[in-house]
Structure 1
Amino acid sequence: MSIQATRILRFRSIRLNRTITTTTATATLNDKSNNRTDIAIFGGGIIGSSIAYFIKDKAPINLGVTVIERDPYYTRASTTLSVGGIRQQFSLPENIQLSMFTARFLQNIRQYLSILDQPPSDVAYHQMGYLTLADNHQASILWENFQIQKQYGASIEWLTNEQLSKKFPMINTNGIEAAVFGTANEGWFDPYRLLVAMKSKAKFLGTKFVHANVIGFHHDNDGSKKKCQKVSIRQPDGNEMEIMFDIGVVCTGYDSKQIAKYIGYDDIQRRINFPIEPRKRYVFVVDCRNYDPDYKFPFLLDKTGVYCRQESQKGIFICGRSPPTLVEEPEIDNLDVDYSFFDEYVHPILAERMPCFEALKIKSAWAGFYDYNHLDQNPIVGMDPFYSNIYWATGFSGHGIQMGPAIGHAMMELILNGRFETINLERFGWDRILNNRPLKERNIY
């Protein structure tokens, strides 16, 4: 018998003297028999929905999976408020492999997410490449990253200043020493469409999605580790109830610190400096009437960290930038947009790099939250160090949308098979957090 089959049988036999209830997408919580599930996923954005899809795609039909999501319209979700970029250009092998997995997933999305032979929604995947620029101080790191990316199979090319000018004549290359361009598997897609397709397939396979807020957990001892027995939730009508589960997966993004508090991290004797917090980022939609539509414009990442990508052939672009220092970090008590940030930190850079951008006009803008890991800006993925039945997949620091399918597959392997198989993500586990050993990207920004 395979390890996977053994693990699945263990799930099926966990609840002695009772039969596992098959959970469906249409089950209601008012039925007491549905207040149990094998796997509870907290958070239904791209990470949670992807984990649910991959588990239900591989596991028996009577393995119950329930996703608890407080905002089913995703009005404040990091997933739907992202710009949808995907790139291979990282320095850590894990991140390179995660993005390459997602690129293959998007290219074969019909194979994965079709329902009854009907194609999923078009996710508008534009393989236009990332173009990362570096000055003379950054070029050596860019070159080292380039070598690692090539080693792991990334489709990229190195461009000198002269080669850059020839390939992208619309770009002012003054002050640029070199660049890396993604020739395949890079670009952007529609995050909302991908989420809808992923969630729809997960529901079709039997995942139950519950609209509710998590308001607490109940614990018990399980030998050397604690165990969470059930979660308390509050539904939109104010009704509070409990769901019992055997395994819980935390995918709540920028709210993960609150979930950790509910789970009981404040009561653990060893002090935990929980590293995940919300960080607010602005995205600006601009109209460039002087743009030549014949240019094939990539996802541009300037040496300053300013980014820009095309939204339509009619000269509409999306752009933004992370605040240069902590002093410029905006408050997180709302999602209002500070338009002066564009005038001071974004537009001057774009106008210098792309002369046709001097006459930009802002059409609209929005703000969203990153689930920012202030230790090293990389995710926490794996088993909880204190609770024997809790797993984590959070803290992606802006990269969650491009890694979502890959993380869903990796977490399926870990939960069902007991280990990472396709991509080894052990370095993204809790050990580095507990021991304060950052695993940082050597990107130049």
Structure 2
Amino acid sequence: MLRRLLRLGLGPGLPNRGLRTRRGGFTLGPSVGGIWQQFSVPENVQLSLFSINFLRNINEYLAVVDAPLVDLQFNPSGCLLLASEKDAATLENNVKMQRQEGAKVCLMSPEQLQNKFPWINIEGVAVASYGMEDEGWFDARSLLQGLRRKVQSMGVLLCQGEVTRFITSSSQAETSSGEPVVLRRIHKVHVRMDKSLEYQPVECAVVVNAAGAWSGKIAELAGIGKGLPGTLQGTKLPVEPRKRYVHLWHCPQGPGLETPLVADINGVYFRREGLGSKYLGGCSPTEEEEPDPTNLEVDHDFFQNKVWPHLVQRVPSFKTLEVQSAWAGYYDYNTFDQNGVVGPHPLVVNMYFATGFSGRGLQHAPGIGRAVAEVVLEGQFKTIDMSPFLFTRFYVGEKLQEFSIL
């Protein structure tokens, strides 16, 4: 099996939140672990609905004989998205689409919002959307460990190393428009294993590029994007590492156990962590504020200056919070449209993608894994039509823009 299918990186859609990752390897830190259906792209709603069914029935899929059951510690407290007057119509249209897809989401006026969650300050909120079922958060580490244990029980050998080179063959072809192109097929991958100076050549029939924040670099190694700009041959995989911070704070006066995962107008989000008046949260920086992704050091001033003031404005009781810890991790950030890349590359004919989820990889992992398996084994998407997520959209310039980004 190892010689027939090589998977680079974490696996289809697994999280980069809280990860300390390098090419072809990983370690997993804490994760926000949210799952919600409140997206603007229908396929993302479908992925969440597929995933929640998988997670709710996790031990039907991942149970191993004579091993403990997987406990995801799922907290079904829902997710709450707040919108200003400027974004109210967009949120309302999104909810209409989400309901059509089968999600249990409701709209709330500011008055309804404050009645249900009296700890919230409704200033600046024109409307809110709230997931009534199948939304909340779960333990990412438990999911990853459960997946690893299951595939190992099925005979899969897990290795960790750094991809350094692809061995390919090539042939000439033309696109439908007559553009000359070079088709490539990967036959071997050179991998430098841990604690070894040797480069192990791995023979493979299929390569799945699920290397998260480093999937763009892996694609370059395979020759993707190394052609004339504006051509299919010169179209790069636009995925790069973006550093994000998550903070853990304690606040005995904070919101109670009914608190959902809250995403505010300004991009600040938070949720409860356990039963001891602790909370996780953070905010994605603006393009101008993007931190240096070459290290995982935490900028504590970012929380003090950019996150905490907004938290206090929305939840006044957070004025007395005390930060207890913080960590940084990577998003596999798709700079083109912040949406995933799923399926085959048109020119490197046996490389498939499962990357670019810009922070949503964890919650969509089960659906993305199914989609990649279907297209590899059967040549087409079946459960969910993921064709809008194909690599070719970068070449033709058709964005699949997702506006519900945490």
- Structure 2 length-normalised TM: 0.91
Aligned pair count reads: 386
How far 1:222 sits from its partner (Å)?
Answer: 5.2
Instruction: Give the one of 256, 261, 267 matched to 2:220.
Output: 261
In 2, the alpha carbon distance for the partners of 1:161 and 1:265 equals 49
Checking the alignment, whether the CA contact within 8 Å between 1:110 and 1:119 is kept in structure 2 is no
Aligned to 1:47: 13
How far 1:69 sits from its partner (Å)?
Answer: 7.6
Tell whether 2:347 aligns with 1:398: no
Alpha carbons of structure 1 residues 235 and 264: separation in structure 2 relative to 1, 3 Å: same
Checking the alignment, whether the CA contact within 8 Å between 2:224 and 2:348 is kept in structure 1 is no
Tell whether 2:287 aligns with 1:317: no
In 2, the alpha carbon distance for the partners of 1:48 and 1:140 equals 32
Unaligned regions of 5+ residues in structure 2, if any? 16-21, 174-182
Aligned to 1:287: 250
Match of 1:413, SS?
Answer: helix
In 1, the alpha carbon distance for the partners of 2:165 and 2:319 equals 52
Instruction: Give the one of 71, 89, 102 matched to 1:140.
Output: 89
Aligned to 1:272: 235
Aligned to 1:113: 62
Match of 2:306, SS?
Answer: helix
Deviation string, structure 1 residues 120-179 (Cα, Å, up to 9, x no partner): 331111111000011111111100000000000001111111111111111111221111
How far 1:442 sits from its partner (Å)?
Answer: 3.5
Tell whether 2:373 aligns with 1:412: yes
How far 1:268 sits from its partner (Å)?
Answer: 3.6
Larger displacement relative to structure 2 (199-208 or 393-402): 199-208
Tell whether 2:331 aligns with 1:370: yes
Match of 1:421, SS?
Answer: coil
Aligned to 2:179: none
Stretches (4+) displaced over 6 A: none
Tell whether 2:289 aligns with 1:328: yes
Alpha carbons of structure 1 residues 48 and 331: separation in structure 2 relative to 1, 3 Å: closer
In 2, the alpha carbon distance for the partners of 1:48 and 1:400 equals 5
Checking the alignment, whether the CA contact within 8 Å between 1:82 and 1:401 is kept in structure 2 is no
Deviation string, structure 1 residues 64-117 (Cα, Å, up to 9, x no partner): xxxx9843xx33x5xx45311111000111100001111111100010100116
Checking the alignment, whether the CA contact within 8 Å between 2:83 and 2:128 is kept in structure 1 is yes
In 1, the alpha carbon distance for the partners of 2:405 and 2:204 equals 43
Letter in 2 for 1:331: D
Match of 1:47, SS?
Answer: coil
Instruction: Give the one of 36, 40, 43 matched to 1:87.
Output: 36
Checking the alignment, whether the CA contact within 8 Å between 2:114 and 2:122 is kept in structure 1 is yes
Aligned to 1:432: 393
Unaligned regions of 5+ residues in structure 1, if any? 1-22, 24-35, 50-67
Greater per-residue helix proportion: 1
How far 1:199 sits from its partner (Å)?
Answer: 1.2
Letter in 2 for 1:244: E
Aligned to 1:19: none
Aligned to 2:180: none
In 2, the alpha carbon distance for the partners of 1:414 and 1:434 equals 21
State the Cα RMSD in Å: 1.9
Instruction: Give the one of 192, 199, 205 matched to 1:234.
Output: 192
In 1, the alpha carbon distance for the partners of 2:188 and 2:120 equals 56
Aligned to 2:178: none
Aligned to 1:354: 315
Checking the alignment, whether the CA contact within 8 Å between 2:104 and 2:132 is kept in structure 1 is yes
Letter in 1 for 2:104: S
Deviation string, structure 1 residues 238-273 (Cα, Å, up to 9, x no partner): 221201111111000110121112111254453224
Q: 1:43-192 alignment to 2 at 5 Å?
A: 43-45=9-11, 47=13, 70-71=24-25, 74-75=26-27, 80-116=29-65, 118-192=67-141
Deviation string, structure 1 residues 48-74 (Cα, Å, up to 9, x no partner): 79xxxxxxxxxxxxxxxxxx9843xx3
In 2, the alpha carbon distance for the partners of 1:95 and 1:194 equals 20
Checking the alignment, whether the CA contact within 8 Å between 2:13 and 2:366 is kept in structure 1 is yes
Letter in 2 for 1:301: A
In 2, the alpha carbon distance for the partners of 1:256 and 1:439 equals 19
Letter in 2 for 1:184: E
Aligned to 2:145: 196
In 1, the alpha carbon distance for the partners of 2:400 and 2:39 equals 13
Alpha carbons of structure 1 residues 242 and 174: separation in structure 2 relative to 1, 3 Å: same
How far 1:418 sits from its partner (Å)?
Answer: 1.1
How far 1:203 sits from its partner (Å)?
Answer: 1.3
Deviation string, structure 1 residues 265-308 (Cα, Å, up to 9, x no partner): 25445322431111110000000121254x41000011111000
Deviation string, structure 1 residues 385-407 (Cα, Å, up to 9, x no partner): 11121111111100000000111
Alpha carbons of structure 1 residues 345 and 292: separation in structure 2 relative to 1, 3 Å: closer
In 2, the alpha carbon distance for the partners of 1:253 and 1:136 equals 35
Identity of aligned residues (%): 38
In 2, the alpha carbon distance for the partners of 1:185 and 1:248 equals 33
In 2, the alpha carbon distance for the partners of 1:46 and 1:386 equals 21
Alpha carbons of structure 1 residues 211 and 341: separation in structure 2 relative to 1, 3 Å: same
In 2, the alpha carbon distance for the partners of 1:343 and 1:396 equals 28
Alpha carbons of structure 1 residues 130 and 48: separation in structure 2 relative to 1, 3 Å: closer
In 1, the alpha carbon distance for the partners of 2:12 and 2:348 equals 24
Aligned to 1:33: none
Match of 1:184, SS?
Answer: coil
Match of 1:88, SS?
Answer: coil
Checking the alignment, whether the CA contact within 8 Å between 2:225 and 2:237 is kept in structure 1 is no
